């Protein structure tokens, strides 16, 4: 296991000067992930906060090879890069010992929603790539519209809370499960709040041959509406309430990477965030109850899966 | 060895693919282009090509794979038709905007609704402003020849712009024809080695590709993207000449058939031009001075050259296998009419839409067009500027 000191001394591949908001979880995630291999990495980045905030021409925050083509196709774009790498290696036009890691990156909108098909196709075909979804539960870059990763009851600009609505009426899609159903070598859920765990998972994902997928919780003070100094604490709360369990599925085998000593009520997760404020009105108590029930059931199911 | 082979249009394209052996091939099946994809897959399965064949889950992803692969730094191709091309639409602009020399075989097919699998040009005409070079083929031989030339044009360092080669669905894609298939090595030599330009795979040269541009740069970048297609005419011409020197079939921007002393001209692209030639022969034997102009390159559109070829005609009929709802006329017509605007003396000109959804166009239809042109030339007036051929109304 790498020491923090060693990691800190590695060259940054995502350098300061980008325009992401104060307290944003995205740089936190990628500073760790991009240190998890010594090899060169090529990124195909979907449209979203990370892409927009790091590449406003003529400046770039990428001290590495990086590409953007569209919103829904980071997976197929990186698949194309990887296919060319394989072809040219086979044809002897690039050296046999040249190692490159291929990384597709997208937000929850790009991954759960519009790019799900491209991601499904890419991992089904078995490209040797890693795909990372930074899940901030919304289309943050375009002003916080709902995505299928937006939680039940959250107020988002296209699922706003109002006199007749308690915010988003549907629960989150379980994307990690969908990726597990592809029977690929490695699928994991991670959080930058646990940097060692995230680092280990990224390292494993890079090393494993074939497709690997990481779903990483990403705090977004702007759209979640909380005090931006509290991000890391909030990430810990997500783990302790089991709203975002850390687990991995390696060749079909489940492993839970973090179990709270004492599972906390979801209220602790919901309370600090303005997007859930309206849930604390009397008429919305049912949403809080439903939220808790769903988290409990999911956690129970995950624990069962991890028994085998 | 160069040999005569009996192939249909899809097989002709596949033959060229086998000979060129691109580095990455990514395509999704859709009638009538499916056989191209299947044949490529079989070539790969039988070890007849060495490139990576990617079989994505959609055409959007097929073009995205092509974009990733071409950016990585190698020769890339795809094939599709109709709804498939439409699904790629967003990515067509990105391929052109990133100046990636991708080559696509497009088996021209009508657009839904109503769904129909037969040939017309609505698909590629819909993509005419996407920044791709467009070349159309009359028959299997031309499809084969154009497809080979497309790589040279797309990859030329002054051009670096994607190229699509159109061939009519079923009429060409599924019709057998005896074509000259050139020697494998000669074709490879003609196409040449791929020269990567800023390849992503050269990771020592760190690059940010596809950044966001705001009001302060976008316009300049959009303008500079046009340079590729603007630089392409001499390249298209030179490649067509060289192809002729090497293989005996020379190509230009358009073909003129019995135009020498013609006073009336029919302009029509792709497979219908073959039928039109028969009609012209009959008309000529009846003593009528009718010729054919068959555009080959639609983007970049050779306005000047076509206008020069047509300016002395008494009357011209432009036939489009595509409609352009709400426009002044269909695409080929508006281009040509606009090209003639600067001439004080110019022919009368009419537009006919024909063959939508694969509707037949026969010799007799071309002869009807010719007799209408005669009348226009006689009276000097165009009664109906826009009408249809072989349509029940
Ligand atoms: C085809 C298409 N539809 C819509 C958009 C507009 N759009 C750009 S980014 C975005 C949301 C991105 O959300 P997500 O993937 O979650 O990333 P985040 O902004 O949260 O980082 C949307 C809707 C687009 N660029 N392309
Ligand atoms: S909106 Fe949210 S995700 Fe986007 S940069 Fe700001 S904090 Fe980060
Ligand atoms: Mg998001």
Which domain CATH number covers B327?
3.40.50.920
- Report the interhelical angle of B34-45 vs B9-20 (nearest 10°): 40
Q: Do the Cβ atoms of A107 and A141 come closer than 8 Å?
A: yes
- Give the minimum alpha-carbon distance from B348 to chain A in angstroms, rounded to a whole number: 46
CB atoms within 10 A of CB A188: 26
What digits encode the pLDDT tens for the residues B1-12?
899 999 999 999
Q: Taking 70 as the threshold, does the pLDDT of residue A191 lie above it?
A: yes
State how many domains chain B has.
2
Q: Determine whether the interchain pair A90/B60 forms a contact, defined as Cβ–Cβ distance below 8 Å.
A: no
What integer is the mean pLDDT of A134-160? 98
Give the mean pLDDT of A259-270: 98
Of A12, A36, A38, A132, nearest to A78 (Cα)?
A132
Percentage of chain A exceeding pLDDT 70: 100
Q: Does any domain span residue B222?
A: yes
Q: Which residue has the tokens 């280990």?
A: A200
For residue range B178-190, list pLDDT tens digits in order: 999 999 999 999 9
**Which atom of ligand 1 lies nearest, measured to the CA of A136?**
20
What's the confidence (pLDDT) of residue B296? 98
Pairing of strands B297-299, B133-136: antiparallel
Distances (CA, A) of B300 to A261, B130, B133, B228, B236: 69, 12, 6, 10, 10
Residue B393 lies in a domain: no
Containing domain of residue A207, as a range? 4-305
Classify residue B122: in a domain, yes or no.
yes
Q: B282 and B229: one domain?
A: no
At B314 the pLDDT is 98
Ligand nearest to the CA of B90: 1
User: What's the structural domain count of chain A?
Assistant: 1
Which of B23, B58, B203 lies at the smallest CB-CB distance from A100? Answer: B203
Query: Between A and B, how many residue pairs show a Cβ–Cβ distance under 8 A?
Result: 164
Q: Does A3 have pLDDT greater than 90?
A: no
Let me know if residue B92 belongs to a domain: yes
- CA torsion sign for A24, A25, A30, A31 is positive
* Residue A110 sits at the chain B interface (C-beta within 8 Å): no
Average pLDDT for B225-243: 98
Pair B313, B225 in one domain: no
Question: What is the mean predicted confidence (pLDDT) over A70-95?
Answer: 98
Q: How far apart are CA A60 and CA A54, in angstroms?
A: 6
B235/B262 same-domain check: no
How close B99 gets to chain A, by Cα (Å)? 12
- Residues from chain A that touch B67, judged by Cβ atoms under 8 A, are 69, 77, 80
Residue among B69, B91, B98 whose CB faces A83 most closely:
B69
pLDDT digits (tens, 9 = 90+) for B158-202: 999 999 999 999 999 999 999 999 999 999 999 999 999 999 999
Cα–Cα distance for residue pair B373/B315, rounded to 1 Å: 6
* For range B216-220, the mean pLDDT: 98
- Domain C-terminal end among B247, B277, B292: B247
Q: Is B189 helix (H, G, I), strand (E, B) or coil?
A: helix
Pocket of ligand 2 (CB under 6 A): A 20-21, 24, 26, 49, 53, 136, 140-141, 220-223
Residue B38 confidence (pLDDT): 98
| Mean pLDDT along residues B312-340 | 98
Q: What is this structure's pTM?
A: 0.98
Looking at every residue in chain A, the average pLDDT score rounds to 97
Q: CB distance from A99 to chain B under 8 Å?
A: no
In the sheet with B163-168, reading across from the earlier edge strand, the strands are B52-54, B24-26, B76-80, B103-108, B163-168, B133-136, B297-299
Cβ contact, residue pair A88, B74, below 8 Å: yes
CB-CB under 8 Å, A87 with B55: no
- Last residue of a domain, which of B187, B218, B247? B247
Q: Could you tell me if B238 and B262 lie in one domain?
A: no
For residue B61, the chain A residues in CB contact (below 8 A) are 73, 75-76, 79, 117-118, 121-122
Same domain, B134 and B9: yes
Looking at the structure, tell me whether residues B77 and B102 fall in a common domain: yes
Q: Which atom of ligand 1 is nearest to the CA of A51?
A: 21
Beta-bridge partner residues of B135: B165, B297
Q: Which residue of chain B has the CA closest to A59?
A: B211
Mean pLDDT value across residues B12-33:
98
Q: Does B52 touch chain A (CB under 8 A)?
A: yes
Cβ-count burial of A20 within 10 angstroms (0-12 exposed, 13-18 middle, 19+ buried)? buried
* Residue A153, domain CATH: 3.40.50.970
Residue B121 CA to chain centroid, in angstroms?
10
Tens digits of per-residue pLDDT, A244-254? 999 999 999 99
CB-CB neighbors (< 8 A) of B55 in chain A: 125
Task: For residues B145-155, give the mean pLDDT.
Answer: 99
- In SS3 terms, B286-338 reads as CCCCEEEEEECEEECCCHHHHHHHHCCCCEEEEEECCCCCCCCCCHHHHHHHH
The packing angle between helices A195-207 and A25-33, to 10°, is 50
Share of chain B above pLDDT 70, in %: 100
A279 CA to centre of ligand 3 in angstroms: 22
Q: Within an 8 Å CB–CB cutoff, is residue A58 touching chain B?
A: yes
Is residue A184 a contact partner of residue A119, using CB atoms and an 8 Å limit? no
DSSP annotation of A111 reads I
B68:A78 CB<8 A: yes
Residue contact B94–A65, C-beta within 8 A: no
Tokens of B147: 């497809």
**Residue B387 main-chain phi, psi, to 5 deg:** -150, -175
pLDDT of residue A1 exceeding 70, the answer is no
Q: How far apart are CA B90 and CA B285, in angstroms?
A: 49
Q: Does B114 reside within a domain?
A: yes
Q: How far is the CA of A150 from the centre of ligand 2 (A)?
A: 15
DSSP B206: -
- Is residue B100's pLDDT more than 90? yes
Q: Give nearest CA residue, ligand 2 atom 6.
A: A21
**Looking at the structure, do residues B276 and B230 belong to the same domain, yes or no?**
no
Query: Residue B127's pLDDT is what?
Result: 98
- Given a contact cutoff of 8 angstroms between Cβ atoms, the answer to whether B4 and B178 are in contact is yes
In a domain, B133, yes or no: yes
Handedness of CA B120, B124, B129, B135 (dihedral sign): negative
Per-residue pLDDT band for B36 (boundaries 50, 70, 90) equals very high
Pocket test for ligand 1, best of A24, A30, A47 (most atoms within 8 A of CB): A47
* Three-point CA angle B309, B315, B318, nearest 5°: 75
Q: Are residues B288 and B351 in the same domain?
A: yes
With a cut of 80, say whether residue B289 has pLDDT above it. Answer: yes
C-alpha B189/C-alpha A307 separation (Å) is 61
Cis peptide leading into A58, omega within 30 of 0?
yes
Task: Give the closest residue (by CA) to ligand 2 atom 3.
Answer: A220
Q: What SS3 class is residue A297?
A: helix
The answer for A 131-190 residues in CB contact with B (under 8 A) is none
Q: Which of B91, B94, B212 is facing A55, going by the closest CB pair?
A: B212
> Is there a contact between A205 and A198 (Cβ–Cβ < 8 Å)?
no
Query: Does the distance separating the beta carbons of B66 and A67 come in below 8 Å?
Result: no
The pLDDT assigned to A212 comes to: 98
pLDDT score, position A233: 97
> What pLDDT, on a 0 to 100 scale, did the predictor assign at position A4?
86
Measure A57 CA to nearest chain B CA, in Å. 5
- Most distant pair of Cα atoms in chain B: their distance: 70
Domain end (from B247, B262, B288)? B247
Best residue in B40, B211, B216, B222 to probe A by mutation, most A CBs within 10 Å? B211
CB B39 within 8 A of CB B48: no
Q: For residues B26 and B65, is the Cβ–Cβ distance under 8 A? A: yes
H-only helix segments in chain A? 4-9, 25-33, 49-54, 74-90, 108, 116-124, 175-180, 195-207, 221-224, 231-240, 267-270, 285-305
| pLDDT tier, B203 (very low <50, low <70, confident <90, very high otherwise) | very high
Q: How far is the CA of A25 from the centre of ligand 1 (A)?
A: 17
Q: With respect to residue B371, please indicate whether it lies within any of the assigned structural domains.
A: yes
Give the span between the Cα atoms of B25 and A127, in whole angstroms.
Answer: 15
Q: Same structural domain for residues B292 and B225? A: no
Q: What is the mean pLDDT of residues A258-283?
A: 98
For ligand 2, the distance from its centroid to the CA atom of residue A222, given in whole angstroms, is 6
Distance A50 CA to ligand 2 centre (A): 8
The one-character DSSP state at A109 is I
Q: Nearest-CA distance from B1 to chain A in Å?
A: 24
The answer as to whether B308 is a domain residue is: yes
| Interface predicted TM-score (ipTM) over 0.85 | yes
Cα→Cα distances B199→A65, B191, B212, Å: 10, 20, 20
Distance (Å, whole) CA A106 – CA B123: 31
Q: Does B70 touch chain A (CB under 8 A)?
A: yes
Enclosing domain of residue B40:
3-247
Which residue's C-alpha comes closest to atom 2 of ligand 1?
A71
B377-392: pLDDT as tens digits = 999 999 999 999 999 9
């Amino acid at each position: 296991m790498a020491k923090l000191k060693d990691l800190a001394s590695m060259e940054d591949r995502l350098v300061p000067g980008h325009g992401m908001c104060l307290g944003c979880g995205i740089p936190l995630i990628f500073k760790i992930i991009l240190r998890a291999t010594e090899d060169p990495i090529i990124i195909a980045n979907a449209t979203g906060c990370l892409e927009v905030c790091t590449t406003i021409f003529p400046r770039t925050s990428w001290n590495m090879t990086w590409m953007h083509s569209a919103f829904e196709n980071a997976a197929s774009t990186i698949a194309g890069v990887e296919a060319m790498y394989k072809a040219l290696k086979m044809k002897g036009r690039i050296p046999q010992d040249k190692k490159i890691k291929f990384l597709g990156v997208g937000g929850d909108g790009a991954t759960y929603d519009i790019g799900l098909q491209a991601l499904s196709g890419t991992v089904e075909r078995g490209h040797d790539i890693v795909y990372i979804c930074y899940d901030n539960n919304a289309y943050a870059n375009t002003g916080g519209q709902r995505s299928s990763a937006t939680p039940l009851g959250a107020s988002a600009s296209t699922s706003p809370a109002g006199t007749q609505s308690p915010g988003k009426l549907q629960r989150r899609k379980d994307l990690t499960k969908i990726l597990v159903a592809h029977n690929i070598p490695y699928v994991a859920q991670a959080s930058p709040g646990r940097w060692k765990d995230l680092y280990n998972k990224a390292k494993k994902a890079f090393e494993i041959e074939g497709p690997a997928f990481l779903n990483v919780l990403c705090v977004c003070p702007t759209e979640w509406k909380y005090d931006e100094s509290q991000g890391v604490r909030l990430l810990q709360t997500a783990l302790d309430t089991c709203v975002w369990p850390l687990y991995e599925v390696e060749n079909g085998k489940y492993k839970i990477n973090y179990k709270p000593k004492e599972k906390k009520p979801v209220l602790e997760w919901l309370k600090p965030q303005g997007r859930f404020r309206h849930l604390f009105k009397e008429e919305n108590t049912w949403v809080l109850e439903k939220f808790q029930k769903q988290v409990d059931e999911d956690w129970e199911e995950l624990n069962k899966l991890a028994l085998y | 060895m160069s040999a005569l082979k009996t192939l249909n249009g899809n097989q002709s394209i596949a033959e060229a693919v086998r000979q060129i052996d691109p580095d990455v091939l990514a395509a999704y099946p859709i009638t009538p282009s499916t056989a191209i994809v299947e044949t490529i897959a079989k070539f790969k399965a039988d070890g007849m090509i060495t490139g990576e064949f990617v079989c994505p889950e959609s055409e959007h992803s097929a073009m995205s794979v092509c974009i990733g692969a071409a950016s990585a730094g190698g020769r890339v191709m795809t094939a599709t038709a109709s709804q498939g091309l439409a699904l790629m639409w967003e990515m067509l602009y990105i391929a052109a905007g990133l100046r990636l020399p991708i080559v696509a075989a497009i088996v021209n097919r009508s657009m839904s609704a109503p769904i129909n699998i037969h040939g017309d040009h609505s698909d590629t005409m819909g993509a005419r402003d996407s920044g791709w070079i467009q070349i159309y083929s009359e028959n299997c031989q031309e499809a084969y020849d154009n497809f080979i030339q497309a790589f040279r044009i797309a990859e030329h360092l002054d051009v670096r712009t994607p190229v699509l080669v159109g061939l009519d669905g079923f009429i060409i894609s599924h019709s057998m024809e005896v074509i000259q298939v050139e020697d494998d090595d000669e074709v490879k030599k003609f196409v040449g080695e791929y020269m990567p330009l800023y390849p992503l795979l050269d990771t020592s040269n760190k690059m940010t590709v596809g950044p966001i541009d705001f009001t302060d740069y976008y316009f300049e970048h959009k303008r500079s993207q046009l340079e590729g297609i603007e630089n392409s005419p001499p390249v298209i011409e030179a490649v067509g000449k060289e192809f002729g020197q090497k293989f005996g079939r020379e190509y230009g921007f358009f073909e003129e058939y019995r135009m020498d002393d013609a006073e009336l001209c029919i302009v029509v692209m792709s497979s219908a031009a073959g039928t039109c030639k028969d009609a012209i022969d009959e008309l000529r034997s009846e003593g009528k001075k009718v010729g054919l102009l068959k555009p080959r390159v639609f983007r970049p559109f050779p306005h000047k050259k076509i206008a020069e070829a047509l300016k002395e005609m008494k009357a011209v009929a432009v036939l489009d296998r595509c409609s352009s709802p709400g426009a002044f006329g269909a695409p080929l017509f508006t281009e040509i009419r606009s090209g003639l605007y600067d001439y004080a003396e110019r022919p009368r000109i009419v537009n006919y839409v024909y063959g939508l959804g694969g509707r037949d166009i026969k010799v007799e239809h071309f002869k009807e067009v010719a007799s209408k042109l005669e009348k226009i030339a006689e009276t000097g007036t165009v009664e109906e500027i826009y009408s249809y051929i072989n349509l029940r109304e």
